[in-house]
Structure 1
């Protein structure tokens, strides 16, 4: 049972509120709570000239700005502190403020508390965005009014007054958003779990525990959808308080969604129904079959097989996810910039039936690349490395090549433009070039979208 949003409005009125981070997700939040009568201080490590004209708009609304590197040093005497997802909740300044009486929360946590509609939340190390989008498309096809948010779509907090109880909400939720969450979606999906974001999380265990918040606060009416093929997610069934449903590409299931030969099937109430065959799916790669199975299992009680099939056989994919860019002199170029972890990059390689020219490297999230080397050594024709992790990736491949007595050529590039040009120079007719970095983008780009867009720009100018 969700709380009444009117209670939030009454409670926030007149309160001193600090919002940490003036990014896209927090801007509608700031405007909303100012209109509800809150006294808001917007805090950000960037300076005014970096943030832009939104600063003037906020000041016109009466918002106090606290900007610059010391933006966390003035958090005394606040009633509420809204944390941006990328900010750890255990920073000394935040812990001190909480100890002094401030309530720590976030835009997403408050949205979940007060959202009147049924919420489907999706998390995992890989496949979150595609699975979230597939669920959204299937529900839309069924005829629901659907909202999509979290890490995908637009912020939803300022839509709470217009979202209706009969609507559906689909949220992509990161470990950062889930870290302090004390409420869970009605339907929770965990696509898979593997080492990721260990630059932000103190350990793999902390990362896993953050993910568990997506179902930890469900009740007996909740539904948890898990990957049967992933050892970490499979064991989460023991902690589920409601109904658990699995999906699998390698095992037959008594209930849930699985790959039965060449068919995607769903078993519900003992009845086996075929969604479609793998030959009918336009999304490349076995990992996208997993995403389709996860989505189908999640909304099995809400959607018809027809709606699932229509989406499964027509959906072309999400930008920056094995996105075909262009063919130049017989060489095809693919943008898989979303592949910001070794496991995601390995999944991208499996989408192709031939060995590829792989462009990889970027910001170091403190994740080992051994798994990418093991899986990639037979999938890569040429490895082009760039960014802060270039040497680390090369060392992992050199070690694996020694173990398997195999060789693939490795070259280094100064940046993305030089990497694409090297791929063009080395590529032959019939080759595939894919940007599947296996790393975050922060050493060279603001985010994976900017990196992917730059890749497409370079390729389109070849």
Structure 2
């Protein structure tokens, strides 16, 4: 029986606390805010200390700490236990230790994680309808363990670098890093630290496991040199190299994993080369996990896309509206902008994360006008030939709608996080979609919308 401190009473912290208590541990849960499930947690025998971390916690001894991934290591209570050499995990690690029979396919990277993992999950469900999805996608792994116990179960897992920093024994059967680009510089001590944290995904993999290496990404290749050779089997992926293990035949559109045809590009509904890459990586991981090529092809032909990721909303008077609220950095913004040849009415802006946005200037010719808003609204004034600043997203949308012509697109692609004006990117995206629907006076029942 261990004495465990859980820091953060959000969904993952509550699930971790319940699982740890179920397994016989003494559990203390603390949060700076009121704990939403306080009565239930206390009824299970969990000590809940909310609305602030009491000073006496600094004097207590814990075998290990489980912290919310979003809480930085420099936060006073976390830093205290870090300095005491107390092991600090995220709930991914403790859930993994509680369910060793689970079989994981894990995805990390700067962008494309959720699309890749969602596709992967749909493919795994073709093989076994009980297959699960968890992690950074919004579902704590601890909840999956609580609901299913320790049984053989395939799990598609999205892992942020925050979660990977808190693993110790965690291991997966298949893994990949979708891509790497600057992000989370407001959390990490350096860009090197951010990139290195992603490579922890294959830390404990075995020779019979798989790692997909994106050879098209120069940053991945640069950092991979530090770890090569690695223990798992390496499948080299490329959209450009005809000799890669995972590749596409540009003449036929067929996607190959070595000599096996996984699917054909013509059947993929998602737009953009980056989404083709996501689909190829998901398909290769699924095939390695035992999903047949026929089952993979069924999913590819059916999959409509993921909410808030270049999500088509509707068309009115020849103007198409897209919600890409998940574009919270320049890398994902570039991916979205590259999906449209011209006539982009760009809505961008939000919290200042200290990121350099100069790379976006390469899309100046495609952007009919940039309507920036929020905390960093004026940052974009020097980037685009045609730009205006607004306080709110709604004001920016009003201006774009007034200016837009038939054949153009109005694209919400913030290029940064939402935390200056919104709770998260999902809320920002939902509000944007509601504004579009209301302002175009299209009833929800008649919309041509991809859910």
Q: Give the structure-1-normalised TM-score.
A: 0.87
Match of 1:436 in 2: 413
2:448 is aligned to: none
Cα shift at 1:262: 5.1
Query: Is it true that 1:173 corresponds to 2:163 in the alignment?
Result: no
Structure 2 residue corresponding to 1:385, chosen from 355, 359, 372: 372
Is the CA contact 2:345–2:409 (under 8 Å) kept in the aligned structure 1?
A: yes
- Matches of 1:438 and 1:99, distance apart in 2: 35
Matches within 5 A, 1:295-374: 295-301=282-288, 302-374=290-362
Instruction: Tell me the residue number matched to 2:246.
Output: 256
- Alignment partner of 1:200 is 2:187: yes
When structure 1 is superposed on structure 2, of 94-103 and 219-228 the one drifting more is 94-103
Q: Decide whether the 8 Å contact of 2:215 with 2:221 is kept in 1.
A: yes
Structure 1 CA distance for aligned equivalents of residues 21 and 128 of structure 2: 35
SS across alignment from 2:333 = helix
Where does residue 101 of structure 2 map in the other structure? 116
| Structure-1 separation of matches of 2:273 and 2:82 | 45
In the TM superposition, residue 310 of structure 1 has moved relative to its aligned partner by 1.4
Q: 1:248 to 1:205 in 2, by over 3 A?
A: same
Task: Compute the displacement of 1:414 (Å).
Answer: 1.2
Preserved contact between residue 340 and residue 438 of structure 1 (Cα < 8 Å):
yes
TM-score with structure 2 setting the length: 0.89
- 1:400-419 superposed matches below 5 A: 407=385, 409-419=386-396
Once the two structures are TM-superposed, the CA of residue 378 in structure 1 deviates from its matched residue by 2.4
Q: Following TM superposition, where does structure 1 have runs of at least 4 consecutive aligned residues deviating by more than 6 angstroms? A: none
Aligned residue runs from structure 1 range 104-253, under 5 A: 104-113=88-97, 114-143=99-128, 145-160=130-145, 162=148, 166-182=152-168, 183-235=170-222, 236=224, 238-253=228-243
1:182-232 CA distance string (max 9 Å, x none): 233221111000111111111110001110110122222221112110012
- Does the CA-based 8 Å contact 2:119-2:299 persist in structure 1? yes
Structure 1 counterpart of 2:404, from 427, 431, 434? 427
| 1:163 to 1:186, Cα distance in 2 relative to 1, 3 A | farther
Q: Which residue of 1 aligns with 2:20?
A: 33
Q: How many residues align?
A: 431
Change over 3 Å in CA distance of 1:259–1:90 after alignment to 2? farther
CA deviation digits over 1:249-280, x for unaligned, max 9?
A: 11113422335345142133xx252611x332
Alignment partner, residue 458 of structure 1: 435
- Alignment check: 8 A CA contact 1:112 1:185 kept: no
Q: Deviations over 1:148-206 (max 9, x none)?
A: 00012522224336256542111000011111322332211110001111111111100
**1:30-69 map, 5 Å:** 30-46=17-33, 48=34, 51-52=35-36, 54-68=37-51
What is the distance in 2 between the residues matched to 1:24 and 1:126?
23
Structure 2: 5+ residue stretches without partners: 440-451
Per-residue deviation, 1:73: 7.2
Task: Name the SS for the 1:299 alignment partner.
Answer: helix
Q: For residues 68-111 of structure 1, what are the alpha-carbon distances to aligned partners after superposition, in whole Å with 9 as ceiling and x for unaligned?
A: 45568724322221111012235453343255464322211122
Residue deviations 1:310-358, cap 9 Å, x none? Answer: 1112210011111111223332111110111111011111222433101
User: 1: CA distance between counterparts of 2:400 and 2:13?
Assistant: 40
Q: Does 1:21 align with 2:8?
A: yes
In 1: Cα distance, 2:340 partner to 2:436 partner: 19
**Is the 1:248–1:257 contact (alpha carbons within 8 Å) kept by the matching residues of 2?**
yes
In 1, Cα distance between equivalents of 2:121 and 2:5: 33
Contact 1:257 1:294 in 2 (8 A): no
- C-alpha offsets along residues 415-448 of structure 1, whole Å, 9 cap, x if unaligned? 1111111111111222210101000111111111
- Cα distance, 1:380 vs structure 2: 1.1
List runs of 5+ in structure 1 lacking aligned partners.
Answer: 1-10, 399-406
CA distance in 2, matches of 1:20, 1:233: 32
Q: 1:259 to 1:131 in 2, by over 3 A?
A: farther
Contact 1:358/1:434 (<8 A) preserved: yes
Q: Secondary structure at 1:160's aligned position in 2?
A: helix
Q: Which residue of 2 aligns with 1:89?
A: 73
Against the structure 1 CA distance between its residues 418 and 22, is the aligned structure 2 distance closer, same or farther, given a 3 Å change threshold?
same
Q: RMSD value over aligned CA atoms?
A: 2.2
Q: Which moved more, 1:241-250 or 1:29-38?
A: 29-38
| Structure 1 residues 37-79: Cα deviation after superposition (integer angstroms, max 9, x where no partner) | 4332221122x2xx54x22333344433333455687243222
